[in-house]
Structure 1
Amino acid sequence: MAKNITIAVDAMGGDRAPHMVIEGIAQARTLFPNTKFLVFGDEAQIKPLIAGFPELTSASEIIHTTDYVSSDMQPSQALRKGRQSSMGLAIQSVKDGAADVALSAGNTGALMALAKFMLRTMPGIDRPALISPLPTLRGESVMLDLGANVECDSNNLVQFAIMGAAYVRTVFGLSRPTVALLNVGVEELKGKDSIRAAADILRESRHLPLDFVGFVEGNNIATGEVDVVVTDGFTGNVALKTAEGTARLVTDLLKRAFQSSLSTKLGYLLARHGLSSLRDHMDPNNHNGGVFLGLNGLVMKSHGGANAHGFASAVASAIDMAQNDITRLIADDLNEITHADDQRGAI
């Protein structure tokens, strides 16, 4: 029987909080009626909003705090001042076992800093990584790290590969995800030493529940030829923002083109169903919900500019990962690679 999930929500994080947050969890509640919410933030603002959604009244508990993490707060400031904020208290509830996962649309750097400080990394994980789904020609792939770690060594990249594969097994239901390292070419001799060293380790780790296929270049991320794209946080964040900007460029150019003349407007009427499908596939709100993997607890990150539908999508991803106990899956896979290393050392 599926476990009933409790989600700790930072109601004050995001560009349109708390309205967007409350509307988002209300949408999610209709799809997941057994989900409970601990809602952290200013009760004077939150309570009237929840009252507008009767189904949330019995499913949510407000934990009042007027402290919140601003969008421009530095991670170091968040560590000093943010532990009693709506964000910090949401993470603390995961540590205390009161919630299964924390979810915030707030400041990414502050969320990362607080989550790492309060939950600590799992045994065998040096650094947590931020992962998120991306739309592709074949559906969805995932990429990590998306900004949590600017520089990474080969062991970090191997750990990211293991965590990314566990995510895909959990969220997409694939038993053996394909995994590739993002590189400047597909040839084995190309790339930095850390990337080539990580590739050597992954090629030898045939016992892991993943298929390592080598390197992938940036122009092939969107084709969906691999399920998991692994890179450092600097490169991953640049790639993600470039993809989002390209998606906006394409949709804006199409809009201009179809508005340029009477004939193109007529053409739009004929193509509108296909264009609507394209817009939905590329809409970040339909792929919302990054997660910091590698911590002793689940912490989710929603886009700061997400709408209510996008926040509901992040809630759905949080429920998936909590239901399937992704933290345990990662621990099991790490034990496998550690056991294999011990055996090779004994030979």
Structure 2
Amino acid sequence: MKLKSLLVGLGLLAGMGTAYAEDDPFKVGFVYVGPVGDLGWSYEHDRGRKELEEYFGDKVETTYVENVPEGADAERVITQLAKAGNDLIFTTSFGFMNPTIKVAKRFPKVTFEHATGYKRAKNVGTYVLRTYEGRYVSGVAAGMLTETDTIGYIGSFPIPEVIRDIDSAFMGAKSVNPNVKMKIVWVNSWYDPGKETDAANALMDQGVDVLLQHTDSPAPLIAAEKRGARAVGQASDQSQFAPKAHIFSVRDDWAPYYISVVEAVMNGTYKPSDYWGGFQEDMLSLASINDNLPDDVRAKIDETYEKINSGEFHPFTGPITDNKGNVVVPEGHTLTDQELAQVNWYVEGITDEIPR
């Protein structure tokens, strides 16, 4: 865990003074969109929470609420956590954005951090993973492994985060296989094993033999294992569910960021910002790369990872054309984080339309 480098990057090491009484535990609340047992997104956020507790010991007390729908229920839950005396509240899904902003206005002394959103305030910061980095490597592996030249993507909701990851995966596949096609099925859920299984089977019925996903359960991997396809795990190490089908998992690690933010708020140096973490920050990794991969595929995975990790290559460097024929990233330009947060187009070669 590169905690010291992360703290330096956030400007949180200098001039730290004690802002909270040491005899009172610093209270931190977490709001999860799915169950902690989803073995994906919420599971990894909760693992970060546990590492936070381990790091600070009795100086920190944490609380979490799982399975919180995005909308009015989220506002109610966030309000309850603020009223319960939490000093810092992490809300961990895109649909919690507006509820977080609303509650933050009513509780100006509480610090809020919202994952994957773009609205900030005096007491609200945002944070996100560069998941598109992992998707690009996933696409490279998928493009090399597919025997039907058809890969599939299970989408959750058509928001910029998901759309740019679909684009990144397809560009990765296209970089090694110019004939590759991508089919996309949207399930309009972050976590629904039944829908995810149905989506995986529907894609495989259409000739897809490598599955990627932006949903949180291992159900697509299990479906791929049953039908002799391949798949990439989402958010956590999901290799146990598909010993043969599993290519690797793109694993999230939120602990470095959670520790750094708590440190900053406790010491009075916190300033809200828009933080992005990826391979370089050890907040994103390739977990359990399967030993059954061909040597050339494994070598290409390692090579692509190293180029992204070192900064030599960025998936969203132009020229990039969308599937309407428009140049969306000029030659020589790399999308800024602000621009990445607004991606609402499919790259050239994806024949689907983005749901509206």
Q: TM-score, with normalisation over the residues of structure 1? A: 0.32
Greater fraction of residues in helix: 1
Instruction: Tell which has more relative contact order, 1 or 2 (C-alpha 8 A, sep 6+).
Output: 1
Q: TM-score, with normalisation over the residues of structure 2? A: 0.31
